[in-house]
């Protein structure tokens, strides 16, 4: 097993040993379950009226899609809390010099910590997606659209995890890292909305906004430009975190 996987395994074990991780997992799933039940109840009330309308929205549009959007919104808040201790916590505890002197390269350290956070988020997303997926038993759920939306959430979560890890590498304290990562998330989430509010129409600003690339996945559209955006954002954030570790190594 490579050093990256060993580090990821140890980091994931340490992550699951923290009460914060379990509390976040329980809180997010609790909120999603409540939202899912409310959406399902509203759909059941509307179903008799929708039955007589041609091409009416189904359970995917009225239950699954709002739940997936809610999952993305919660990830904006949860990921900074999960990633804040990745490197800033090591620095605060005084174990970062030992990690840097262990012989593991900077890239492997960053990738190992990133994989641990991503696996945790993947578990959270999978449990959330299982709620609308359960409706396939008694409804004609569009599994292809749900699969595309799940892939989009995975890419979205990976980009947020990389941003949180990058913020943790530059911050001195975990709380500061969480605040910085949350600020980045909200700016990228609301960037396009702010431009529209100011009357600015820019393709570049629209391209930078997270919802621009997440929404097509939620609607079952798999486009290479959206995949490339999330992968590029993830790569840039991880590269910056790696360079920051290299700087700290030379200063140690």
Contact status, residue 159 vs residue 234, Cβ threshold 8 Å:
yes
CA–CA separation, 64 and 70 (whole Å): 10
Residues of the domain holding 99: 3-251
Q: Which residues contact 59 (CB under 8 A, 6 or more apart)?
A: 43, 132, 135, 139, 141
Q: Which helix (H) or strand (E) holds 192?
A: helix 174-197
CA–CA separation, 232 and 126 (whole Å): 24
Q: Which residues contact 21 (CB under 8 A, 6 or more apart)?
A: 15, 82, 120
Instruction: Give me the tens of pLDDT residue by residue for the chain, a chain 252 residues long.
Output: 588 888 899 989 988 888 889 999 999 999 999 999 998 888 888 776 766 666 666 777 888 899 999 999 999 999 999 999 899 988 888 888 888 888 888 899 999 999 999 999 999 999 999 999 988 887 778 888 899 999 999 999 999 999 999 999 999 899 999 999 999 999 999 877 655 565 555 577 788 889 889 999 999 899 999 999 999 999 999 999 999 998 887 875
pTM (two decimals): 0.92
Question: What is the model's pLDDT at position 38?
Answer: 92
Coil, helix or strand for 60?
helix
Question: What is the model's pLDDT at position 196?
Answer: 58
Phi, psi of 242 (to 5 degrees): -65, -45
The two three-digit tokens of residue 21, written as one number: 């991780």
Q: Which helix (H) or strand (E) holds 5?
A: helix 3-16
Number of domains in the chain: 1
Q: How far does Cα 32 stand from its chain's mean position? A: 15
Neighbours of 77 (CB within 10 A): 16
């Amino acid at each position: 097993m490579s050093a990256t996987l060993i580090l990821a395994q140890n980091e994931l074990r340490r992550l699951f040993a923290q009460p914060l991780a379990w509390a976040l997992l329980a809180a997010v799933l609790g909120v999603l379950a409540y939202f899912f039940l409310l959406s399902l109840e509203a759909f059941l009330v509307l179903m008799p009226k929708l039955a007589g309308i041609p091409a009416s929205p189904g359970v995917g549009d009225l239950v699954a899609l709002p739940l997936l959007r809610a999952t993305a919104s919660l990830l904006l808040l949860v990921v900074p809390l999960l990633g804040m201790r990745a490197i800033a916590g090591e620095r605060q505890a005084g174990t970062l010099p030992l990690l840097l002197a262990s012989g593991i390269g900077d890239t492997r350290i960053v990738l190992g910590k990133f994989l641990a956070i991503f696996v945790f988020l993947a578990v959270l997303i999978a449990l959330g997606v299982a709620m609308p997926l359960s409706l396939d038993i008694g409804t004609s759920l569009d599994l292809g659209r749900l699969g595309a939306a799940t892939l989009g959430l995975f890419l979205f979560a990976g980009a947020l995890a990389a941003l949180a890890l990058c913020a943790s590498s530059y911050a001195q304290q975990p709380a500061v890292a969480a605040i910085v990562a949350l600020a980045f998330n909200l700016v990228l989430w609301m960037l396009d909305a702010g431009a529209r509010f100011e009357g600015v129409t820019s393709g570049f600003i629209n391209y930078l906004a997270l919802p621009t690339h997440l929404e097509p996945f939620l609607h079952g559209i798999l486009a290479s430009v959206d995949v490339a955006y999330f992968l590029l954002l993830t790569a840039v954030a991880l590269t910056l975190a790696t360079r920051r570790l290299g700087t700290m190594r030379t200063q140690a």
